[in-house]
Homo-oligomer: A and B are copies of this chain.
Amino acid sequence: MTDGLDACFVGVPLDAGCSNRSGTQFAPRYLRCESPNGPVNQGTGVNPFLTHNVADIGDVWFNLYNLPEACRNIREQYQAIINNNCIPLTMGGDHTITYPILQAMKDKYGPVGLIHVDAHPDLQDDVLGSRICHGTPFKRAYDEGLLDYSSVIQIGLNGTGYPSDDCVWTVRDIGRNLDFRVMKAQECWYKSLEPLMAEVRQQMGEGPVYLSFDIDAIDPSFCPGTGTLKLEDSRPSKPLNSSEGVVA
C-alpha cells in the first residue's frame, strides 16, 4: 500500500489507553473531514506535493480489547510502512500509540531522536497496574532503549500526576534521571519560539527524529476537548468503600 510513497497519512483510532475522557478514536476521521488542503503554503512558497508522493492509506487495525495486543498490531503495521521507506504522518489516537511506533522506528533505525510537545511527560511506570496506556509510552521507550537521549526534548510540560513517588516522574526528575532535555510551558510563553526551534534543529542533528504532538500542549482555553488538563482522572481514585472523603 505504501509502494512509491515518500510519506503517508495514517490513522490510529485508539481510545482504550485514555483515562479521563475517551474520544481520541474519532480524531483520524475528523481530521480528514475538517482538513481542506490546497497545494501551496504561501508563507514558505512551497508546494510539497510537487516534490513528494503522499497518500492517505487509511487507518491501522488493532485489537480493541487488549492494549498490549493492540500495540503489537500497530508495531507490525508500522514496520511495514517504515521498512518500505515511507514516512508515517500519524493521526492518533491516545498517546499509548507512540510506544509501538517508536518500536517500529527502532527496528529500522536503532534509537531515534524525539521532539515531544505535551503538557505531560507521559513517563509513568504504570497506571492501575497497567504498564501500557497513555501515561506510560515514554517510560516504555526509555526502558527498551528506543531513544537516543542526546536527541530528546520535551516541550510544554505543565502537568500533574498521582500521589506516589514511584509512579510519577516530576519535571525535576526527568532532567536528573533520564537525560531528557525539558522546556516547561512557562518557559515558552511571551517570546518567539524561533530561537528554541533553531536549537532543537541543531540538537537533533542529522539522525532520524520522531515528532509527537499532544493537543493538550495548547492551552485548554483554545483546545478544551482534551481529556487530561491539569486535573486528575475524573473517576473515583479508590473503590467506593474507601473513606477518602470525595463524593462526586
Contacts and interface: CB of A to CB of B under 8 A. Distances in A.
Given A22-B23, A239-B77, A232 B65 contact: no
A234 interface: yes
Contacts of A15: 15, 22
Interface in A49-96: 49-50, 52-61, 63-67, 69, 73, 76-77, 80
B49 A246 contact: yes
Contacts of A55: 245, 247
A161 B40 contact: yes
A128 interface: yes
B239 A41 contact: no
Contacts of A66: 128-130
B245 A53 contact: yes
A36 B234 contact: yes
A84 to B, nearest CB: 11
Interface string A1-22: 1000000000001011111111
A117 interface: no
Interface string A134-170: 0000000000000000000000000111110000001
B64 A128 contact: yes
A212 B240 CA distance: 23
Contacts of A163: 39-40, 47
A176 interface: no
Contacts of A197: none
State the copy count for this chain: 6
A36 B132 contact: no
A22 to B, nearest CB: 4
Given A42-B161, A61-B236, A61-B239, A246 B33 contact: no
10 contacts: A15-B15, A18-B64, A20-B36, A39-B244, A40-B160, A42-B230, A58-B240, A58-B247, A61-B240, A65-B67
Interface of A: 1, 13, 15-23, 25-26, 29-30, 32-33, 36-43, 47, 49-50, 52-61, 63-67, 69, 73, 76-77, 80, 127-130, 132-133, 159-163, 170, 221-222, 230-241, 244-248
Given A40-B232, A58-B248, A61-B238, 15 more contacts: A22-B23, A29-B33, A36-B233, A37-B246, A38-B162, A38-B231, A38-B233, A39-B163, A40-B161, A42-B161, A42-B230, A65-B133, A73-B239, A76-B239, A80-B241
